[in-house]
Amino acid sequence: MDNRDSANDITRTEPVQPAEPPVPAAEPPAPAAAPPGSAAALVSIICGIVACALDLLVVTVPLGVLFAIVGFGCGFAARRRGHRGLAGLVLASVSLFIVIIYAASVLVPMLADPTSRL
pLDDT in tens, 15-57: 667 777 776 667 777 676 655 558 889 999 999 999 999 998 8
Q: Report how far apart, in Å, the C-alpha atoms of 92 and of each of 10, 13, 24, 84 are.
A: 89, 81, 50, 14
* CA dist., res. 45 & res. 54, Å (int): 14
- DSSP code of residue 57: S
Residues with Cβ within 8 Å of 56's Cβ and at least 6 positions away in sequence, in order, are 98
Confidence of residue 3 (pLDDT cuts 50, 70, 90): low
pLDDT beyond 60 at 8: no
Query: 3-state class of 50 per DSSP?
Result: helix
* CA dist., res. 40 & res. 95, Å (int): 18
Condensed to tens digits (0 to 9), the pLDDT of residues 63-118 reads: 999 999 999 999 999 988 888 888 999 999 999 999 999 988 888 888 888 776 66
- Is-above-0.75 flag for pTM? no
| Percentage, residues of the chain above pLDDT 90 | 34
